[in-house]
Amino acid sequence: MPHFYVPSSALAIVAHPDDIEFGCVGTLARWVKAGCRVGYLLLTSGDAGIAQDGMTREQAREIREAEQCAAAELVGVHEVIFLREPDGLLQPTLELRKKIVREIRRFRPEVCIVMDPTVLWIGDNYINHPDHRAAGTAAVDAIFPAAGQPHLFEELAEEGLTPHKVRKVYVNCWSEATDFVSIDETIELKIAALRAHKSQMGNWDPAPRIREWAAEHAKGKEMEYAEAFRVITLESDEDWEKYKGAVLGRR
């Protein structure tokens, strides 16, 4: 079994409630179990995502935020931030970049998990949601260089938020993944967390499809189920230790 890397802290940045559960919650659950401090940053509240007669966006927002918080609690994540950008209309603006930088500088994660901004076509029967692509672009642009650059968004220092470098970026992949994390021990938690999104699951049981997808990622590897990522290392082991030492030395 390959070495299992556990960061000290991780922030998942996604577009909608349930994006984390479909994409990376098995990995996050393993990190939580190993002592990692994990937070969720939701750019929208999925308020356009309940297509029922008479359902207002405000009602949908309340439902979907509650479902996301319940799903997070199942895996031991207690910090869930909603930026409440407009669902279905997300744009990677400078204003949104600043909001994400603010949360990165506040949370100070070693790792960020993001959506892949480059994916448009998924197979021959699905188009990747524009919010997913916008969320990926906004997150990546906030992580590098903005979050760690002291001369960008200098006004955040007035809020006590100093620049912060992210060590690694885990990009949730549909294909062309380079790293696979075993979720053998957390596959049932992943399924349970997805089921918490009752407004989205309806009468559909996600278990068979989730197991199928996770088994496909794990094929040919020393694991039964996996989640797939492309991992970008922005700070080497040596540079990260120097950076941590410098940051601790300033406190």
DSSP codes joined into one string, 234-249 = SS-HHHHHHHHHHHHH
CA dist., res. 80 & res. 71, Å (int): 10
Residue 4, number of CB atoms within 10 A of its CB: 11
Instruction: Quote the pLDDT of residue 248.
Output: 58
CA dist., res. 92 & res. 72, Å (int): 25
Instruction: Quote the pLDDT of residue 56.
Output: 94
Residue 36 and residue 8 in contact, taking contact as beta carbons nearer than 8 Å: yes
Percent of the chain with pLDDT over 70: 98
Residues 6+ apart with CB under 8 A from 149: 163
Q: What is the mean pLDDT of the chain?
A: 94
Average pLDDT over residues 160-175: 95
CA dist., res. 116 & res. 114, Å (int): 7
CA dist., res. 246 & res. 216, Å (int): 42
Cβ burial 18-38 (10 Å sphere, 16+ → b, else e): bbbbbbbbbbbbbbbeeebbb
Residues 6+ apart with CB under 8 A from 79: 38, 39, 40, 107
**If DSSP codes are grouped into helix, strand and coil, which group holds residue 85?**
strand
CA dist., res. 100 & res. 62, Å (int): 22
CATH of 9-250, one of 3.30.70.1350, 3.40.50.10320, 3.50.50.60, 3.40.50.920: 3.40.50.10320
Percent of the chain with pLDDT over 90: 86
Instruction: Quote the pLDDT of residue 189.
Output: 98
Token output for 175:
């294909």
Q: What is the pTM of this model?
A: 0.94
The DSSP bridge partners found for residue 41 are 13, 81
The phi-psi region of residue 30 (left if phi > 0; otherwise alpha if psi is between -120 and 50; otherwise beta) is: alpha
Please tell me what DSSP assigns to residue 39.
Answer: E
What value, to the nearest 5°, has the Cα angle with vertex 237 and ends 232 and 241? 125
Question: Rg of the Cα trace of the chain?
Answer: 18
Of the listed ranges 1-10, 33-42, 154-163, 181-190, the one predicted with least confidence: 1-10
Average pLDDT over residues 91-108: 98
Token output for 170:
């885990």
